Amino acid sequence: ATPMSIMVGTGRAAQLGVLFRKGEALQQLRDASIVAFDKTGTLTEGKPVLTDLILDDEFEHDEVLALVAAVESRSEHPIATAIVAAAEKAGLALGTVTEFTSNSGTGVTARVDGRLVSVGAERHMSHLDFSDFADAIGKLAAEGKTPVFAAIDDKLAAAIVVADTIKPTSKAVIEALHGMGLKTAMISGDNRRTAEAIAAQLGIDEVRAEVLPADKVEAIKSLRKNGSVIAYVGDGINDAPALAEADVGIAVGSGTDAAIESADVVLLGGDLKGVLNALTVSRATLRNIW
């Protein structure tokens, strides 16, 4: 493409709410063969709500929710926001938090009025026995809900389940990408069964789940293995390295500054139809059809 056609293309894209930060991204996007998506906040709204709290019989509902919410009040994770909102709605008083630690991609731990409280994925407390919860959790995860666990003084106290909503246009966008001859993938830190359920609802071809933030880059590299050109769409701080690693990094405009700064293409707002607009413009520009 000529510099002139690139200029026209980026201008046309801007009118459609797609900001190309470098002209060469137009060319790379035209050559993309796989579009990989982050799940939470990209394919979904990223605003989960607490739907279920499944208790071990030695524990009491409000006590567990208050302890867990106290720890989560120190975290910015969407799951934390959902849990704190549920405790607030129940009118629970939160205790004093000390020794807070956050292990990005697995969970959080702190003392609440002296009691040791951990909240997170199974891998955050993998020495505990989850078998009593397996059936209930399996069923909820198969519905696309996200289970996390609460341990209090090193005893498994509850499974806490949150549900996020798929964005209204996500499914149509995946279908349209397939119609344009592209493959789709999802890369998520979430539970495998949850991620697979959401991917199945959307018709996504390939899923990489339980991926730690630091390993999203490796996931991009593994998708690229057979010579595929990868576009990656994400919104979070966690997505910044993957956006930089992908051949074309596409940040959702409603996302974090870190994601936007690492991207080659920025979509205005949260609507994933911008991905289709970006592709359409890249293909048209390289055919010089303006």
- Does position 38 interact with Mg ion (CB under 5 A)? The reply is yes
Binding residue for ligand ADP, selected from 53, 86, 94, 148, defined by CB under 6 A:
148
> In the chain, at which residue ranges do the beta strands (DSSP E only) sit?
18-20, 34-38, 49-55, 97-103, 107-112, 115-120, 146-152, 155-163, 183-187, 206-208, 230-234, 248-252, 265-267
Give the ranges where 120-250 is alpha helix by DSSP (H): 134-142, 170-179, 192-202, 216-224, 240-245
Binding residue for Mg ion, selected from 122, 235, 247, 271, defined by CB under 5 A:
235
Dihedral sign for Cα 163, 149, 42, 268, please. positive
Residue 113, both tokens: 């009025």
Smallest separation (angstroms) from ligand ADP to the CB of 30? 28
Site for ligand ADP in 7-66 (CB under 6 A): 39-40
**106 to 135: interface string for ligand ADP, x by CB under 6 A:** xxx----------xxx--------------
From the list 84, 74, 94, 75, the residue with the least C-alpha distance to 49 is 84
Which residues does the annotation mark as catalytic? 38
HSE of 196, CA atoms in CB hemisphere, 13 A: 9
From the list 184, 213, 224, 218, the residue with the least C-alpha distance to 201 is 184
Residue 13, both tokens: 């894209």
- Does position 80 interact with ligand ADP (CB under 6 A)? The reply is yes
Q: Choose the one of ligand ADP, Mg ion, none that binds residue 107, judging by a C-beta under 5 to 8 angstroms depending on kind.
A: ligand ADP
- Does position 40 interact with Mg ion (CB under 5 A)? The reply is yes
- Does position 152 interact with ligand ADP (CB under 6 A)? The reply is no
- Does position 241 interact with Mg ion (CB under 5 A)? The reply is no
- Does position 274 interact with ligand ADP (CB under 6 A)? The reply is no
Nearest CB to ligand ADP, comparing residues 190 and 245: 190
DSSP state of 48: -
Footprint of ligand ADP on this chain (CB under 6 A)? 39-40, 72, 75, 77, 79-80, 105-108, 119-121, 146, 148, 188-190, 213, 236, 238
Footprint of Mg ion on this chain (CB under 5 A)? 38, 40-41, 235-236
